[in-house]
């Protein structure tokens, strides 16, 4: 007589070298702990920094460092820790010109470090120009959106907001290395800014969410940029 059915033991977690970007889920946009970011395009990668070098691995597990060698060199030089693993995007979006875009800055930001991440240049007068088309000939930059490990210590179980704060102090930003801005609702003014800069999506993420490499997480979701 066969014994009781037993589920197979769970697969061991993938080591950091095998991490892939966490997938977006369905999410809940009315939750109280939301953080909202512009939805970056380009190539989403996991960036590994160690021994003074940076390496990019895309969502399919392909090493694309050689293709973006200049950006990898800039990222390695920007690191303020010995080792790091980052989730981010290789994209031309942060190197687009910002003339004529009204950059939103609230009078009383809830967090100085959040607003310190705004990298869209000096505030300009309002413009009625339509959203810009991205110029593919602009330089590619790396935009970090999350910090998964630092100094060989995993941050996967650390709440997202704390990972964001650590990320802001772990990288020295420059022309080819940026950290994504993020805000808490209400986001109406920021939507106008991001739309004017050419973004077509918003990323909603739970401030207390953890990170699951390669897995779908319903604490994160992508939506179309709302209409004017």
In a domain, 205, yes or no: no
Q: pLDDT by residue (tens digit) across 101-114? A: 444 443 333 333 33
In a domain, 11, yes or no: no
- Answer yes or no: is pLDDT of 124 > 70: no
Rounded to whole angstroms, the Cα distance separating 142 from 196 reads 21
H or E stretch including 58?
A: strand 53-58
User: Which residues are bridge partners to 150 per DSSP?
Assistant: 84, 153
In a domain, 196, yes or no: no
Per-residue pLDDT, averaged over 94-102, amounts to 62
In a domain, 179, yes or no: yes
In a domain, 123, yes or no: yes
Domain total in the chain: 1
Give me the pLDDT at residue 114, please: 32
Which domain does 63 fall in, by range? 42-185
User: What backbone torsions phi and psi does residue 168 show, to the nearest 5 degrees?
Assistant: -60, -30
Report if pTM > 0.75: yes
H or E stretch including 150?
A: strand 141-150
Q: pLDDT by residue (tens digit) across 127-172? A: 333 333 456 578 899 999 999 999 999 999 999 999 999 999 999 9
Give me the pLDDT at residue 45, please: 97
In a domain, 12, yes or no: no
In a domain, 217, yes or no: no
Give me the pLDDT at residue 198, please: 86
Per-residue pLDDT, averaged over 213-219, amounts to 94
Provide the pairing of β-strand 220-224 with 201-206. Answer: antiparallel
In a domain, 134, yes or no: yes
Picking from 194, 183, 177, 187, the residue whose alpha carbon sits closest to that of residue 161 is 183
Helices (H), 79-170: 112-115, 160-168
**Tell me, what CATH number does 87's domain have?**
3.30.470.30
User: What backbone torsions phi and psi does residue 203 show, to the nearest 5 degrees?
Assistant: -110, 125
79: number of Cβ within 10 Å: 21
Q: pLDDT by residue (tens digit) across 31-84? A: 778 999 999 999 999 999 999 999 999 999 999 999 999 999 999 999 999 999
State both tokens at 102. 């009204």
């Amino acid at each position: 007589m066969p014994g009781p059915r037993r589920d197979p033991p769970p697969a061991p977690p993938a080591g950091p070298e095998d991490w892939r970007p966490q997938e977006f889920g369905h999410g809940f946009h009315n939750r109280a702990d939301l953080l909202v970011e512009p939805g970056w395009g380009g190539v989403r990668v996991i960036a590994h920094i160690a021994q003074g070098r940076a390496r990019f691995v895309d969502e399919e597990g392909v090493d694309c460092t050689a293709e973006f060698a200049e950006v990898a060199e800039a990222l390695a030089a920007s690191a303020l820790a010995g080792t790091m693993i980052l989730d981010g995007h290789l994209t031309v979006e942060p190197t687009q010109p910002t003339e004529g875009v009204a950059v939103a800055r609230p009078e009383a930001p809830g967090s100085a470090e959040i607003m310190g991440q705004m990298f869209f240049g000096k505030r300009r007068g309002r413009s009625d120009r339509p959203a810009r088309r991205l110029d593919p000939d602009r330089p590619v930059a790396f935009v970090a959106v999350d910090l998964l490990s630092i100094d060989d210590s995993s941050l996967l179980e650390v709440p997202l907001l704390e990972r964001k704060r650590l990320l802001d102090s772990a990288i020295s930003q420059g022309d080819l290395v940026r950290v994504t801005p993020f805000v808490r609702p209400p986001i109406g003014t920021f939507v106008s800014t991001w739309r004017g800069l050419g973004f077509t999506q918003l990323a909603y993420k739970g401030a207390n969410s953890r990170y699951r490499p390669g897995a779908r997480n319903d604490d994160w979701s992508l939506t179309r940029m709302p209409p004017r």
